[in-house]
């Protein structure tokens, strides 16, 4: 029986030749991170999510530091996604009212919005976390929401969306089918779609979603500065349609230009649309076929976001695809830390990058990748725990019962 290797990678040497990316300039102008941060800070209950250090694990892997932006604490929603959904709804409302600024969460602001816009329904397709964030944001403003999910979405994820005030519609097919269906139904019903992926004629909202994510990194930069670190040397970021990855690399490219951190984009091997696009290498986004059957539900996307792809084509140094057991290992490493390292609750999509990092640093066949990236004892690596325990049943199967174990051929023990 053939066992899928933990890490399959492809270099993007083009990124090192790009000092100024027009795609980055268009999507992430210099003021945007400050603007999104100011908006999010007005949300009732807003707090900066923790940046956790894993020094013992870093030492074991031969790294200078591992820093984890832990989004499992974000607004009690256990995911970063609400940052994008809330900012996109705010930007849509502000534009609809013709307002330059608006305190959308104040009593006066809410009253103005309701008086001017009347009854509105916001809609989205999701694998769970994005829809939950859109539903939460719409409910806080007194609007209705309808969220489309595909047939393999777990019941806990559906219930979490419904608990935030949305009506959930389950459709046959994949996440990409849900994206297409919600757009068709929204046009018939007069709903406003809040999507994290773009298509011709629909680009403003996905841009706002990606811009909303930059709040994470303006926070992280403050937190790193408090530790005497100017910037991470490396960033590993997980990807579905690529919007989070584009926001991550776009933020650092805008801030540091050619001096940005080295970057690795991590995808499931069963939904590797960005890896495939890099492999084809014509500069265009390409769809990944199949049923997208991976435990990394938040990354189970076959169609790249064209806007995000432009940023990644200019800025991502390496694209990696990995099997489910890599994410499962990451969940267990987070959940059973070395003595002295903090405990991190991470779901399947959230743990993909930590799992990938452990294999990159420990497997002999990954030595060329380590060398090309310059991953060594001086490296300060930033990871994003993009979700907490958002699917308790699946979480227990992986962490308690050992589902998706590392195959014997790729198990490795390192002395501390």
User: pLDDT at position 412, please?
Assistant: 76
The list of the chain residues with pLDDT below 50 reads: none
CATH of domain 81-206: 3.40.50.1100
Percentage of the chain lying above the pLDDT 70 cut: 99
User: pLDDT at position 256, please?
Assistant: 97
Residues forming the active site: 81, 127
Domains 8-79+209-410 and 81-206 share a fold: yes
Write the pLDDT tens digit of every residue in 394-416: 999 999 999 999 999 999 765 55
Question: How much is the mean pLDDT over the chain?
Answer: 94
Q: Of 49, 57, 51, which Cα lies nearest the Cα of 341?
A: 57
User: pLDDT at position 59, please?
Assistant: 97
CATH of domain 8-79+209-410: 3.40.50.1100
Kindly report the backbone phi and psi dihedral angles of residue 77, in degrees, each rounded to the nearest multiple of 5, phi listed first.
-105, -5
Q: In the chain, what are the domain boundaries?
A: 8-79+209-410, 81-206
Write the pLDDT tens digit of every residue in 174-186: 999 999 999 999 9
User: pLDDT at position 415, please?
Assistant: 57
User: pLDDT at position 78, please?
Assistant: 92
């Amino acid at each position: 029986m053939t066992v899928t290797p933990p890490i399959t990678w492809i270099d993007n040497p083009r990124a090192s030749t790009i000092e100024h990316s027009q795609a980055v300039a268009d999507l992430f102008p210099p003021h945007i991170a400050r603007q999104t941060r100011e908006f999010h800070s007005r949300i009732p209950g807003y707090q900066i999510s923790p940046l956790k250090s894993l020094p013992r694990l870093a030492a074991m892997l031969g790294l200078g530091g591992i820093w984890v932006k832990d989004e499992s604490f974000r607004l009690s929603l256990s995911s970063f996604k609400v940052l994008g959904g809330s900012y996109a709804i705010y930007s849509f409302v502000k534009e609809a009212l013709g307002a330059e600024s608006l305190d959308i969460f104040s009593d006066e602001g809410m009253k103005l919005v309701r008086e001017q816009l009347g009854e509105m329904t916001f809609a989205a397709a999701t694998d769970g976390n994005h829809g939950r964030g859109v539903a939460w944001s719409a409910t806080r403003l007194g609007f209705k929401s309808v969220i489309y999910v595909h047939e393999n979405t777990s019941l806990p994820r559906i219930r979490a969306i419904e608990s935030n005030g949305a009506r959930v519609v389950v459709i046959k097919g994949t996440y990409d089918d849900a994206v297409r269906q919600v757009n068709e139904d929204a046009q018939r019903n007069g709903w406003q779609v809040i999507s994290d992926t773009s298509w011709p004629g629909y680009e403003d909202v996905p841009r706002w979603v990606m811009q909303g994510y930059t709040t994470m990194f303006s926070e992280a930069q403050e937190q790193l500065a408090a530790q005497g670190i100017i910037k991470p040397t490396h960033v590993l970021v997980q990807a579905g349609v690529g919007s989070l990855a584009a926001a991550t690399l776009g933020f650092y490219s805008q801030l540091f230009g050619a001096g940005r951190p080295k970057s690795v984009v991590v995808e499931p091997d069963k939904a590797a649309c960005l890896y495939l696009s890099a492999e084809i290498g014509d500069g265009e986004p390409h769809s990944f076929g199949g049923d997208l059957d991976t435990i990394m539900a938040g990354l189970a996307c076959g169609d790249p976001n064209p806007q995000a792809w432009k940023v990644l084509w200019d800025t991502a140094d390496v694209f990696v695809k990995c099997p489910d057991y890599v994410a499962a290992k990451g969940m267990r490493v987070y959940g059973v830390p070395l003595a002295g390292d903090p405990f991190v609750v991470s779901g399947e999509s959230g743990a993909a990058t930590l799992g990938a990092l452990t294999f990159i640093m420990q497997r002999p066949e990954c030595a060329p990748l380590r060398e090309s990236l310059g991953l060594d004892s001086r490296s300060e690596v930033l990871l994003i725990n993009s979700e907490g325990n958002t699917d308790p049943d699946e979480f227990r199967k992986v962490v308690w019962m050992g589902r998706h174990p590392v195959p014997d051929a790729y198990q490795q023990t390192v002395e501390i």
